[in-house]
Amino acid sequence: MPILSRPALVEHLVRTRIAGDVATPRDNNLSHYRKLANGDRHYWLGLELGDRWTDEQDVLAVMAERCGVVDDPAHRVGQDTIDPELTVDGLDRMAARLRKAAAGRERVLFATGHPGSLIDVHSRVAAALRAQGCDIVRIPGGLVADEGYVVQFADVAVFERGASLWHTHSPEPMNAILDALGEAGRPDLVIADHGWAGRAGQRGIDSVGYADCNDPALFIGEAEGTMQVTIPLDDHVLDPRFYEPLTAYTLETAGLAG
């Protein structure tokens, strides 16, 4: 795949609605910000936020700064946005962390709560790091969480229940992996999303996560230093192949392409 320049990647992100005018409506975003501020731990994505974020306007301010949502609190319904320049900035920060992982031949764990859209993104990065000598974590078998199983496909940990892969925000699958690995098997880096990424960061592991504009916790985690990198994007667009130029750009920037 040709590697897009930054301006061409920004154009692609907007055209495919990975960023720009995204599908997630404003009222859904604000509802999630409010629930996080009200202490609903489902929206904390595995982080421990204590009583530091009890005002939804403070959450909105972080999301405007780090994700690019509309910063006007009077904007209550209709469209919301992700700034594509912030998306690419996040990819650049991720690329820097990937370069460090490759140079140190680190032990890296990949996981996703969005197997229908992001599993190939994670898998391609895993393959590139393995080619540089990194140890890609193979999770133990038989792991159970949330009345389902934690399994692995194409180097990516996912949640399975009823013979299907599930979309999940829960941190419990990551807890199951890290508990089973123990201190000796602890990864140096986790690349994930949702509660998988948040819980890894909360447990003191360098964590890089993709996050949508209605998932504020990971952006707060980066603002507080618990998350290494949080990349703003719509995490489930129409065609998973739309993410391929994004992945190619990241690997090229990290010096891991080819």
Between CA 170 and CA 46 the distance in angstroms is 7
Between CA 140 and CA 208 the distance in angstroms is 22
- Which residues lie below 8 Å from residue 156, measured CB to CB, with a gap of 6+? 110, 111, 112, 115, 119, 122, 123, 126
Between CA 207 and CA 106 the distance in angstroms is 13
**pLDDT mean across residues, the chain:** 97
Between CA 223 and CA 148 the distance in angstroms is 32
Structure tokens at 193: 């999303």
pTM: 0.97
Between CA 156 and CA 181 the distance in angstroms is 15
SS3 (DSSP) at 28: helix
Between CA 217 and CA 234 the distance in angstroms is 15
SS3 (DSSP) at 203: coil
- Say if CB 129 and CB 98 are below 8 A apart: yes
Q: How far is CA 54 from the centre of its chain?
A: 23
Confidence of residue 258 (pLDDT cuts 50, 70, 90): confident
146-197 pLDDT, tens digit each: 999 999 999 999 999 999 999 999 999 999 999 999 999 999 999 999 999 9
Q: 């618990």: which residue's tokens?
A: 226
Between CA 48 and CA 203 the distance in angstroms is 10
Confidence at residue 5, expressed as pLDDT on a 0 to 100 scale: 97
Confidence of residue 1 (pLDDT cuts 50, 70, 90): confident
Confidence at residue 2, expressed as pLDDT on a 0 to 100 scale: 85
19-62 pLDDT, tens digit each: 999 999 999 999 999 999 999 999 999 999 999 999 999 999 99
107 phi, psi to nearest 5 deg: -95, 120
